Amino acid sequence: MMGPPAPRQRTPAWLWAVPVFTCGLLGFLPAVVIAAKCRTRSTILWAVGFALTSLVGFLLTGMQSSNADNLASDLGAFLLLAMMVGGACYGVIAGAKVHWATAPLVDLPPPPGYVGPPVDPNAQAIAGVMAARQKRAEARTLAQRDPHLARDLRIGRPDLPRHYDDGGLVDINSAPADALVRGLGLTPALATHVIDVRRQLGGFERVDDLVNLAGVPDPVYDQVVERIIVL
């Protein structure tokens, strides 16, 4: 379904006011401004034509002649009059087709007593879990592509100060026992056992080594496998 139509732009009033109030002397100004904004061949030609007409009208108006008719001065006055009318009309008609910047919207403070729309805690919880899952996926991809960078970013090391958010990953090859307890929810005894097996093997090669080599029960492994990484 189509949305509501965009509001019609309001042409700036000065586009017609400048030629009128300057009696045509600045009748070229609207055309020049429109040409500068549109930068099309037609608008540039219009601007040049208006500018030359204004210049000729100004020069002829200032010419004095001994003739009683003073034809040059009359012609200059006629050109300025034409610029006054033509410049105003052109500014209104062509200006309506130009996008004029509007003042930015200002965020006003909420009125007293306004509490905002209700917040769904379930939606917030789901959004938080999904965001953490996305961060873990991005961190795993980075670790596969550049393990050294992953180690420098301390991915999987919640026990160390760091700036990179890996979504709660725990590296079972380097994290200490307390990180296994806090990050994976293992019991202290099971975390210590995992550290001992890791030391004997010289490190794990696969995530499922926790089950196959360290003897972590399957129910426990299924709960923590999404937060495990091997670096």
Kindly state the average pLDDT of the residues 172-189. Answer: 91
Strongest mean pLDDT among 30-44, 90-104, 180-194: 180-194
29 HSE (CA, 13 A, CB side): 16
For the cut 80, the answer to whether the pLDDT of residue 222 exceeds it is: yes
Q: What is the pLDDT of residues 42-57, one digit of tens each?
A: 888 888 888 888 888 7
CB contact at 8 A, 27 and 91: no
pLDDT for res 4? 44
For 137, residues 6+ apart whose C-beta sits below 8 A from its C-beta are 167
144 sits in which H/E element = helix 121-145
User: Over pLDDT 70: what percentage of the chain?
Assistant: 88
pLDDT for res 8? 47
pTM metric for this prediction: 0.49
Query: Which one, of 25, 29, 30, lies nearest residue 11 by Cα?
Result: 30
